[in-house]
Amino acid sequence: MALKSTIFKADLQISDMDRNYYHDHQLTIARHPSETDERMMMRVLAFALYADEALSFGKGLSAEDEPDLWLKDMTGAIQLWIDVGLPDERRIRKACGRATQVVVIAYGGRAADIWWEQNGGMSGFGRCGNLTVLSLPVQTSQALAQLAQRGMRLQCLIQDGQIWLGDDETRLEVVPLRLKDVAKK
């Protein structure tokens, strides 16, 4: 018998002063049996950073042809594709062909550094003009994992590029390293 996903609920209050986006979201997050709290919370962080009324969680680990999060327009065209972790280069190149904008939020310490060394150059992600790659220090992703609870009340404040995420007891500063930004036209 296959293991079922564990359901988490999060009340996420977002104050993104950089984008003038202020909204409360009630999220239902299905954590795949093989997914860690760390990875799940990275998905929550990704949602907070790119929040939109139409942003939704994909099937993630359960489907190879869907991202962790995505935003589609009313025609079904993919406007934003977000993956967390260390996705395969072919997957990201394919996503760049399908979506207007692609974001990867990498984490994992030394493994993330090696992944970037292997994929970050002109033979890899360098050719993807609609790709943004962010990397989080292992201490940050592990601290985010400590916030994971079946019922969460989280607040995210984004101002002048600074990101703060936490609950009533813990407040974490999240400082992603920008490895690659979307090419300017």
- pLDDT tens for 118-133 read 998 777 898 899 999 9
Quick one: pLDDT band at residue 178, thresholds 50, 70, 90?
very high
The residues, any chain, with a CB within 8 Å of residue 155's CB and separated by 6 or more, are 12, 13, 15, 164, 165, 166, 167
Quick one: pLDDT band at residue 110, thresholds 50, 70, 90?
very high
Rounded to an integer, the average pLDDT of 60-68 is 77
Say whether pLDDT at 23 is over 70. yes
Say whether pLDDT at 184 is over 60. no
Counting every residue written for the chain, the total comes to 185
Homologous superfamily, domain 6-180? Restriction endonuclease-like alpha-beta roll domain (3.10.640.10)
- Whether 148 and 8 have beta carbons less than 8 Å apart is answered as yes
Task: Quote the pLDDT of residue 3.
Answer: 77
Residue type (1 letter), 25: H
Domain-wise residue ranges, the chain: 6-180
Task: Quote the pLDDT of residue 155.
Answer: 98
Say whether pLDDT at 161 is over 90. no
- Backbone dihedral angles phi then psi of residue 123, each to the nearest 5 degrees: -80, -10
Residue 96 and residue 18: Cα distance in Å, rounded?
A: 25
- Backbone dihedral angles phi then psi of residue 39, each to the nearest 5 degrees: -65, -40
